[in-house]
Amino acid sequence: MESRVKNVWKNRSSRYDGRFLQPFAVALVCAIFIGLILITGIMDLQRIDRTLLSFMENQGLGIIGVVQKLTQENLNSLRETPQKGVERGSVPITAFSPKQHLLVELKNLAIEVDKQWKADLLSEAYLRKFASDKRLWLIAVLNERGEVIFQNRSYFTGTEKGRGAESNGSHRLSQGLLRQLSVGKIPFIALQRRDGSGTVIIALDRGGRRYWATKVSIEKVIEELGEVRGQHLIYITVMDQDEATLSSAGEIPEPWDRRDARMSEVFSGAKNVISRKISYNGKPLLDIAAPLYLDDQVSGVVRLGLDREGTDKILAEHKRNIIIFMTSVVLITLLSMWILYRNQNRHMAGIIEMERQLEKAERLSALGQLAAGVAHEIRNPLNAISMASQRLKRDFVPADGSKDAEFQTLAGVIRDEIRRLDGIIEEFLTFSRSRRLELHEYPVTEVLDKIVNLVREEATSKGIVLNTAYSKNSAVIPMDVDKLQQALLNFVKNAMESISGGGSITISVGPFGRNRVSVKIADSGCGMTTEEVERIFNPEYTTKEKGLGLGLPLAHEIIRGHGGEIRVLSEQGMGTTFEILLPAERAGEKG
């Protein structure tokens, strides 16, 4: 048995389930719009990323600018050292300045060579390599008598080797003191052992002086910078044009390949700054490289690493906000497109339904006109045939008594068929005139009493019990009495036709809301399926074997003409209830 479903018919266009806007077109529009939103979001994220990257690059350039400025100041301070003649006397290592820093660095080189000498590992080949690596012009080792034992180049030769360094205008050095002397135009320093057993001499040419001056100047700056190096600056290193490290602080990651075109541009000064995102020791970093300008020329490259954790958090927050925004826009877009799609289909369905109704109205109008013409053309012959059949039946009875019964049967058939044709013509005429109403105030209950009296005998003969549930003096409404009676009679007849083998019909009247009256006609008949309920008011649909099946469509037209509604509740095998809602006031009379 089918589930109980309430099917409602109202005075409005039926729903159209077609699809007028192609789903592919809607999907394409949505895809294009969503694609534009996604592209905009991605471009916005890239813009924010570039902004943050530019901010960090500027931060790195600020640090590099400080390094560059302080290094230049240290170099200028070193150049103030007298470069001519011989500076007599000792140079004590006291106040820490770029000059002393340079002497300390050279002293450490001399100490390193002295350790090799003491370990008996010293040779001229070792000194040549050592001098090349450390960019020294001359490095020589003298014994306690001032005689040269080893040297990286043949500078002390002939008698000079026997006379030692004093032959060049020097004097024996005080024990344990570091002195600045000169060999011709090449400045040098000498470090004598405390026990006087030997001396190490180091001399620098112009390139070496510049290299070591730059190196110690940068080391002093990096050392000072390390004291204020915060959480964001992870490492810093400075390289010269030969990629030799001048100074560094922090743990340096894998070097940047100079064969990289961008790095070559930095070394040449063609690019002001380059950067790359890396991950080192589990931390996100921005590796920045920029040229180091000293004396208005590129002297090397400064490379430093800045912590990206803070900027990554900002980028992640913006990314999350953009994703939320894009998701919201996408959902709104899909909802808007769905509403547009639904409304367009609804409007198109309304237009098509209106076209169908106009077509139907034109068809019904033509049918009414045809019916009126057919009535005039057919009723006269029918009347003549009817009178002829009556006369035949009365005056021309067969002489043979055995044929009298057959004659009477044939005459009855002719009479009945004439009546059926006349009924069909009357249905056409009534249907065509159903919308021309003459409204008068009249009680609904009196109309229902007339209907009950008309059908009571037929209902009794079929074993159908008629029940009424309404007050005799209630529900006076504006109506066309004859047409409303015909409409309600059609509902009652339809209910009687649905009952076979006995049953009941209940007719009730009651108020519905403030300004309407409800008339219910409920039967215990066979009921209807959902599909049948949807089609019962269609003039083209009928389940009757005889007649045109215009009873319910005619009732529908009459009720609609009164401004009413029809609601149907039906379940197959359980009966049907028609509820007719009629306005209690005429249109335009509401206060």
Q: Could you tell me where the beta strands, DSSP code E, fall in 158-228?
A: 178-183, 186-192, 198-203
* CATH numeric code, 98-212: 3.30.450.20
pLDDT at 226: 65
Q: Examine the pLDDT at 95 and tell me if it is beyond 80.
A: no
Q: Which amino acid is at 575?
A: G
Taking only the tens place, the pLDDT of each residue in 35-94 is 888 888 888 888 888 888 888 889 889 888 988 898 888 888 877 654 443 343 344 433
Which has more confidence, 23 or 297?
Answer: 297
- The residue extents of the domains of the chain are 98-212, 435-583
Q: Which amino acid is at 569?
A: L
Give the β-pairing of 565-571 and 503-512: unpaired
Which has more confidence, 179 or 391?
Answer: 391
Q: Examine the pLDDT at 9 and tell me if it is beyond 50.
A: no
CA atoms within 13 Å, Cβ hemisphere of 517: 22
pLDDT at 522: 92
Which has more confidence, 213 or 82?
Answer: 213
Q: In angstroms, what CA-CA distances link 505 with 121, 518, 550, 556?
A: 129, 16, 21, 20
Q: In angstroms, what CA-CA distances link 477 with 94, 402, 444, 473, 521?
A: 122, 60, 7, 12, 18
For residues 531-553, give the mean pLDDT.
67
Domain 435-583: which CATH class?
Answer: alpha beta
Taking only the tens place, the pLDDT of each residue in 349-366 is 888 888 887 887 777 667
